[in-house]
Amino acid sequence: MKKHIFPIAMALTIVSGALSAPSIMATSKYDAQFASYPTYNGDDLEVSVDGNGTHFRLWSPKAEQAQVLLYSQGAYGSPYSTLDMTFHPADGTWTAEVPENLYGKFYTFRILNNGVWMKETPGVWAKAVGINGNRAALIDLSKTNPEGWDADKGPQVDNFTDVIIYEMHHRDFSMHPSSGIANKGKFLALTEQGTLSPDSLKTGIDHLKELGVTHVHILPSYDYNSVDEANPQLNTYNWGYDPLNYNAPEGSYSTNPSDPAVRIREMKEMIKALHDAGIGVIMDVVYNHTAANDDSNFNLTAPGYYHRHWDDGRYSDASGCGNETASDRQQMRDYIINSIKYWTDEYHIDGFRFDLMAIHDTETMTQAAAAIKEINPDAFIYGEGWTAGDSPLEPERRALKENVSKMTDIAVFSDDIRDAVKGHYSNAEDRGFATGKPGLEETVKIGIVASTAHPQVDYSKGANSKFAYAASPEMIVNYVSCHDDLTLTDKLKKSIPEASEAERLAAAKLAQTIVFTSQGTPFMFAGEEIFRDKKGVHNSYKSPDSINAIDWAGKKTYADQFDYYKNLIALRKAHPAFRMTSADQIARHLVFDEIDSEKMPNLISYSLKDNANGDAWKEIKVIFNGSAEPRTVNVKKGKWTIVARDGKINPEGLGSFKGGKIELAPYSALILHL
């Protein structure tokens, strides 16, 4: 039975404390039974191969019997052998072994539960799978490594605020005929050098290098449920927020999903190509729920244990997708930590984006970050600091954005800056600061200071948050759009319908200028640099390629936009003042100019003073005009060099200015320095 798949990553913000009704308990009466389960944290869970043969070890403390079924094929046919497993009550595992190496074979487990044999499952630790992920595969992982893999390494990251994130879906990026890419919609798309649009402009990995982002954030790339890998000609599209096998790559992104090694090798080749280009790879992970409920691999191995429930035994559903997992339970916590350690170690992943992270508890997230950083000190971990529904987990334990300061080495998305700059995500017509809506100036300032405490920011006026929840700018990811909701292009079409395309392009530049000059880590959605749209579809999780694929003809049509984004990124990379690393630095070096927002709405002006964060520039003045009208401001006298004005930007300078009155065009940013 397939669960109804729901869009994920609903940008629902639940304010900490809002759900702390007295009746809410961390553990429901139903879930209390799981506390007594013994746990097992060895690295040989489910299968290991050594000189003595193939060893199976399934964690299932309450199973009445357990079996391994061996197959010669990844799908279809009957098992050629069935092994009865032996129970070890001390750690809740069942074992079986065969004296030979079973590389090339496939296996499933099944358990007897309440006198009934449950469905077969590849288990929860399958690192290789057959087509559509129904059977686990036995392969020699060392043979999946591309040439030079041992020396492969992602970019060094001194501070999280140095990272520039580009969020992309494999199909969106390469599927359109205009991509000029051969392996459309595949991991290998990102290994192709020299690909060009019909206008002979760079696409693919060369485009990423040209743009200058430091990391790509790939939408779910583990094996997910909704795309039929056996029928690629159907061209089914899905974002992939419906996890099936957490530790194997998705087959539809490989050139041969029937061969379990191919998807692994090709994903590694993609990562290596990006690393060779100096670009890190961040993976979107969705441990917060499973695609299926009763038929999930979790439930088929240890019924009930891995999910949370209400007192009456119903699945709780903080994911909005039918269930939620229980990171506060030891075997699940260890599972999440071991899984991301595995991806970091085996695939050289450079960071993780946790979907609906607040379904997980803060302790799990802190432990997870510490475990990853032991393997890769440059790894960056961030997530959505909210849930999409109520949970039995108490709000104070949830990895909410409001609790980010309780965690270590974890960042959260700022929905403050997102909604304030472009307008609220849930109301297409709503405008934001950058599109002429007054009254959001203080919330934009909250974004500019990365939600840290600042003497000139009044959090009581914040639209989404009422206190400085970040102890450091390294805890904040700034953005104005992502795969969820309308693209920035579509949002501008709906929210300022009277505006000309030139005005919408100007507003997009302004919105991203706010993101890329703010403290914290900037994040952008793939294709916005060429004004990519999704034809007004806000929830395109299963929309066809005709909605989701990026049309690279836009790189010529919107060449000016692309140049602006590229130079904006270059400006940020060249100037550490935009990348301060502590709240104290920001409070000392970032000074807002006093503006009466009642009289002069949609105008923000601030300076980054005294060679902030070791910047070569003594003072940087940043002014935003989010109004549809031009605005005149007064800049103090000095030998200023203008670097951004009226929709143009050049870190090398656009001319000099002696101070005094200067006009900002509608929807534009002015940046100048001493």
Catalytic residues: 355, 384
Task: Report how far residue 392's alpha carbon sits from residue 616's, in angstroms, rounded to the nearest whole number.
Answer: 51
Q: Where are the alpha helices (DSSP H) in 294-394?
A: 297-301, 330-347, 362-375
Is the separation of the CB atoms in 414 and 342 below 8 Å? no
Q: Is 619 in the site for Ca ion (CB under 5 A)?
A: no
CB of 356 to Ca ion, least distance (A): 20
Shorter beta-carbon distance to Ca ion: residue 542 or 609? 542
Tell me, rounded to whole angstroms, the distance of Cα 20 from its chain centroid.
27
Task: Report how far residue 599's alpha carbon sits from residue 339's, in angstroms, rounded to the nearest whole number.
Answer: 54
Shorter beta-carbon distance to Ca ion: residue 232 or 439? 232
Task: Report how far residue 235's alpha carbon sits from residue 404's, in angstroms, rounded to the nearest whole number.
Answer: 39
* CA neighbor of 423 nearest in space, from 439, 412, 434: 434
63 residue type, one letter: A
CB of 626 to Ca ion, least distance (A): 43
Is the separation of the CB atoms in 406 and 470 below 8 Å? no
Stretch binding Ca ion (CB under 5 A), from 217-225, 277-285, 413-421, 523-531: 217-225
CB of 568 to Ca ion, least distance (A): 37
Shorter beta-carbon distance to Ca ion: residue 172 or 223? 223
Task: Report how far residue 376's alpha carbon sits from residue 372's, in angstroms, rounded to the nearest whole number.
Answer: 6
**Residue 147 CB partners (closer than 8 Å, separation 6+):** none
Task: Report how far residue 487's alpha carbon sits from residue 296's, in angstroms, rounded to the nearest whole number.
Answer: 32
CB of 59 to Ca ion, least distance (A): 23
Using CB under 5 A, which of 120, 192, 223, 361 touches Ca ion? Answer: 223
CB of 571 to Ca ion, least distance (A): 41
CB of 132 to Ca ion, least distance (A): 6
Of all residues in the shown chain, the one whose CB is closest to Ca ion is 223
> Is residue 652 helix, strand or coil?
coil
CB of 417 to Ca ion, least distance (A): 34
CB of 196 to Ca ion, least distance (A): 31
CB of 543 to Ca ion, least distance (A): 18
Shorter beta-carbon distance to Ca ion: residue 120 or 350? 120
Site string for Ca ion, 291-330 (x = CB under 5 A): ----------------------------------------
Is the separation of the CB atoms in 459 and 467 below 8 Å? yes
Shorter beta-carbon distance to Ca ion: residue 251 or 351? 251
Interior CA angle at 137 toward 374 and 286, to 5°?
A: 50
Shorter beta-carbon distance to Ca ion: residue 251 or 651? 251
Range 624-641 burial, b when 16+ CB lie within 10 A, else e: bbbbbeebebebeeeebb
Is the separation of the CB atoms in 627 and 603 below 8 Å? yes
Shorter beta-carbon distance to Ca ion: residue 134 or 367? 134
Stretch binding Ca ion (CB under 5 A), from 82-90, 247-255, 278-286, 544-552: 247-255
Count the Cβ atoms, other than its own, within 10 Å of residue 16: 19
Task: Report how far residue 65's alpha carbon sits from residue 659's, in angstroms, rounded to the nearest whole number.
Answer: 81
Q: What are phi and psi of 326, to 5 degrees?
A: -120, 80
Stretch binding Ca ion (CB under 5 A), from 222-230, 278-286, 389-397, 641-649: 222-230
Shorter beta-carbon distance to Ca ion: residue 204 or 240? 240
Interface with Ca ion (CB under 5 A), residue total 3
Is the separation of the CB atoms in 590 and 608 below 8 Å? yes
> Is residue 495 helix, strand or coil?
helix
* CA neighbor of 268 nearest in space, from 149, 126, 150, 169: 149
Tell me, rounded to whole angstroms, the distance of Cα 398 from its chain centroid.
18
The Cα-based distances of 384 to 79, 359, 404, 595 in angstroms read 42, 10, 11, 33
Shorter beta-carbon distance to Ca ion: residue 270 or 623? 270
Rg (CA), the chain: 26
360-389 residues near Ca ion, rule: CB under 5 A: none
Stretch binding Ca ion (CB under 5 A), from 211-219, 243-251, 625-633, 654-662: 243-251
Stretch binding Ca ion (CB under 5 A), from 244-252, 462-470, 485-493, 578-586: 244-252
Note the residues at the interface with Ca ion (CB under 5 A): 223, 250-251
